[in-house]
Amino acid sequence: MRLKAFLLSMLFCSLSLGGGAELYLKHCSVCHGEDRLGKVAPPLFPFPPFFNLKSDEELSKIIKEGSTGMPAFKELRDDEIRVIVEFIKKPIEKEKLEWKEDRIRESLHSLQTEKLRIKSLSDYTLVVERGKNSVWVMEGERLLAKFPFSNMHGGIKFSPDGTAYIPSRDGWVGRFSPQEGELKKVRACIYLRNIALSADGRYLAVSCWLPSALLLFDRDLNLLKRFEMEGRVNAIYELPSKGAFVFTFRDKPLVGFFNPLDMSLEYRSIDTPLEDFTIDPLEEYLIASSKDSLRIYSLDNLRLVKEIKAGGLPHLASVSFWYSKGNFYFATPLLKKPVLSIWKAYSWEHVKDIPLRGEGFLARSNYKNPYLWVDTSSDSLILVDKRTLDVFEITPYEGKRATHAEFTGDGRIAYVSLYEKEGALVLYDGVSLKKIGELPASFPAGKYNYINKSRRLEAAGLGYQVFMEKCWGCHHTTKPAFGPPLRWSAQRREKALIMAQVLDPQNTYRLLGYSRNAMPKVELKEEELKALINFMEALKDGWMD
């Protein structure tokens, strides 16, 4: 009898020890959090419709074999893995999912990193090494330092002085300052959508799915304001020329504008909820996708300007704009289809669909780089010549998946990821396409260059391309040619006077102190002029040359 009780209690004991909750606490909680809300790894619980866990088979596989940033648990038996999977699939009570002001403020802390002096911000690029949960600081070809950061998601933003803001899927936002040698972190929520930084670097907006909220932080990650939201915020972007932020909802026909100066939040109605959206570099249009079509709204009055049927859902989070032979273009892969779509901006026409070897995700370029670099879920990238739309392929390594191109600010170096456990960051000469270097890396993912990721410089980049086509024969940027260097003008003349000279030199040259006019009237569309003026501003401030 006593033996039976003893055996029973042993059995009970081993059963409870082997229970999912205990196994989870023992093996998983250090990274995923005791409460499953995530810590240095993502939250592990279902929360439809925001996120679902993967299938049982996939979850078991991740636990057994590990994944990009996670160790393998080879010692766990199949039955143990099964109970862990059962455990992480249990929902969490609603009250535990609150993440309000006090919790956010409590989470703020900082880590010391190496103090770095970046000589050329244009060459300053952060590279996410997913397999090692770290971020690299690069300047051109050189790797300067690494610091820890896991689960980066949604894109890094830079303030004018080079401070970087790095979001993670599980709600953390890091503030990395190379010159101060500091990584500050705050947990804004449990599940984060994306972040946006005001052009002056003073305000950081964070959009969250769990809990559904919009948060505003100052440049030091102090929480200024938290707005609870109803609905699923799609994405948030900064509008540099308006000093505001714009966001939309996936489940509501609304566009929100948020002004950090007076903390005003304003909603305007549109005709339909939007799947995804972006803003053109000149900040005149909201380009959205909804049910396999591209919808263009005027940003001023949110009137639908044009609807263009697309062969699938354009991936607007990765859209690349350029200018060539008098036209503005943009391109993006279609999600879940092996196609790159190219459109004309401002006249809003579909130009061409380019078949890809596999599904593309990112179409990347730089204002000085002649190509559009598109990944294809394979070992090759498709390169599209932005002038001719001719297409060719590069294969950094046969059989190794090539993804996510990024560039130095001047387009001189292109970085491509070999997204493998034993992968690499491959460096190309951006124009001759010769391989110029290679750094071993485990699952290198996103790469973010200071110039390419500054929204305020996007319009200037287009302006540079207009300048190369329409003015370069007579003007250079910093040296005199037939006409004076444009930087010289930008630094000395009023914007209105520069515009007058460009639009009507015949009636302006005297105002500028010339005794005769040698500059012809150059025919410019409104957008070309706007882009040019942005470029001259960037020249003036030394961001471009």
Q: Kindly tell me which residue out of 514, 521, 526, 542 binds ligand HEC, with binding defined by CB under 6 A.
A: 514
Task: Note the Cα 244 to chain centre separation in Å.
Answer: 18
Peptide bond into 338 cis (omega under 30): no
Give the C-alpha separation, 177 to 182, whole Å. Answer: 5
Q: Kindly tell me which residue out of 18, 19, 22, 27 binds ligand HEC, with binding defined by CB under 6 A.
A: 27
For residue 225 the two structure tokens come to 């304001």
Q: Least distance (Å) from ligand HEC to the CB of residue 174?
A: 15
Select from 109-117, 160-168, 377-385, 480-488 the region that touches ligand HEC (CB under 6 A). 480-488
For residue 328 the two structure tokens come to 């503005």
Give the C-alpha separation, 15 to 472, whole Å. Answer: 77
> Would you say 140 or 174 has its CB closer to ligand HEC?
174
For residue 294 the two structure tokens come to 């591209």
Q: Is residue 59 a contact point for ligand HEC (CB under 6 A)?
A: yes
What residues from 301 to 320 belong to the interface with ligand HEC (CB under 6 A)?
none
Q: Is residue 534 a contact point for ligand HEC (CB under 6 A)?
A: no
Q: Kindly tell me which residue out of 91, 385, 482, 491 binds ligand HEC, with binding defined by CB under 6 A.
A: 482
Q: Is residue 60 a contact point for ligand HEC (CB under 6 A)?
A: no
Give the C-alpha separation, 320 to 339, whole Å. Answer: 15
Give the C-alpha separation, 51 to 246, whole Å. Answer: 24
Q: Is residue 234 a contact point for ligand HEC (CB under 6 A)?
A: no
Q: Least distance (Å) from ligand HEC to the CB of residue 423?
A: 14
> Would you say 129 or 284 has its CB closer to ligand HEC?
129
Give the C-alpha separation, 82 to 86, whole Å. Answer: 6
Contact code string over 159-198 relative to ligand HEC, x by CB under 6 A: ----------------------------------------
Q: Least distance (Å) from ligand HEC to the CB of residue 337?
A: 23
Q: Is residue 44 a contact point for ligand HEC (CB under 6 A)?
A: yes
Q: Kindly tell me which residue out of 37, 70, 208, 402 binds ligand HEC, with binding defined by CB under 6 A.
A: 70
- How many binding residues for ligand HEC (CB under 6 A)? 45
For residue 22 the two structure tokens come to 């205990």
| Dihedral of alpha carbons 97, 235, 48, 358, sign | negative
Q: Is residue 132 a contact point for ligand HEC (CB under 6 A)?
A: no
Amino acid at 545: D
Cα end-to-end span (Å), the chain: 89
Q: Are 340 and 374 in contact (CB under 8 A)?
A: yes
Give the C-alpha separation, 88 to 32, whole Å. Answer: 11
Q: Is residue 502 a contact point for ligand HEC (CB under 6 A)?
A: yes
Give the C-alpha separation, 461 to 125, whole Å. Answer: 18
Q: Least distance (Å) from ligand HEC to the CB of residue 422?
A: 16
Burial per residue of 338-353, b for 16 or more beta-carbon CB atoms within 10 angstroms, e otherwise: bbbbbbebbeeeeeee
Select from 57-65, 119-127, 310-318, 408-416 the region that touches ligand HEC (CB under 6 A). 57-65
Locus of tokens 């393998």: 72
Q: Kindly tell me which residue out of 33, 37, 41, 239 binds ligand HEC, with binding defined by CB under 6 A.
A: 41
Q: Is residue 518 a contact point for ligand HEC (CB under 6 A)?
A: yes
Q: Is residue 326 a contact point for ligand HEC (CB under 6 A)?
A: no
Q: Is residue 278 a contact point for ligand HEC (CB under 6 A)?
A: no
Locus of tokens 């006077």: 497
Q: Kindly tell me which residue out of 113, 122, 134, 150 binds ligand HEC, with binding defined by CB under 6 A.
A: 150
Using CA atoms of 369, 372, 375, 381 in order, give the dihedral in degrees to the nearest 10: -70
The residues that touch ligand HEC, with contacts defined as CB under 6 A, are 27-28, 30-32, 41-42, 44, 59, 62-63, 67-71, 73, 84, 88, 130, 133, 150-151, 470-471, 473-475, 482-484, 489, 493, 498, 501-502, 509, 512, 514, 517-520, 522, 532
